[in-house]
Amino acid sequence: MSKDKDLEDLLKNIQEGLKKFTIKELNDAIVEFFNKKDDKTQEIYYILEIVSEEFKTNVRQLKKKNVRGDLSDAKQVCYCLLHFKLGLSTRYISEKVFYSNWHSVVHKAICRYKNANISLKPDREFVDVYNKLSEKFINNFTQKNKNLEYGNQGIQ
């Protein structure tokens, strides 16, 4: 029943779109939406940069497969930011961002954040670093969006 309603809504929206736009314009708008939705390379690179800056390393070191100590925490923070802030799946993170990682490693990092016990020092530090970098990420992209909005208003 729900699928029928969803399909009905989709067809109704396409019909409304065709009343206002040509087929080519509607198709171009849909393609542009998909491209915007999928292209998160700028955000991914920014997350890698802020994490490597926080842990005093570089992106190349961060992407290495076998790391220990602080770099392991850095990768886990990176996994969590990519998953929670950008909505990337564990498999996408392991296969496309960190080319040679297992997706189960990414999943364990996400579980570490979800099940963190703040009364324990390592978990508290992990969550604090995650929150700090998360706020930095959000502030950066809200500022960029504001700049784009103000720039676009000046053009019109």
Range of the domain at 123: 41-145
Alpha-carbon dihedral sign for residues 81, 85, 91, 94: negative
Structural domains in the chain (count) = 2
Contact 62, 53 (CB under 8 A): no
pLDDT of residue 23: 85
The answer to whether residues 32 and 60 belong to one domain is: no
Residues 105 and 29 in one domain: no
Q: What is the CA radius of gyration of the chain?
A: 20
Q: What's 118's DSSP letter?
A: T
Tell me the pLDDT tens digit for each residue of 19-78.
888 888 887 777 766 655 556 888 899 999 999 999 999 888 888 877 888 888 999 999
Q: Does residue 151 sit within a domain?
A: no
pLDDT at 103 over 90: no
Q: Are residues 88 and 131 in the same domain?
A: yes
Quick one: average pLDDT of 89-112?
88
Q: Are residues 73 and 123 in the same domain?
A: yes
How many alpha carbons lie under 13 Å from residue 107 in its C-beta half-sphere? Answer: 4
109 confidence band (pLDDT: 50, 70, 90): very high
- Domain presence at residue 20: yes
Residue 83 lies in a domain: yes
- Of 93, 35, 97, 48, the closest CA to residue 74 belongs to 48
Residue at 59 is within a domain: yes
Residue 100 pLDDT > 90:
no
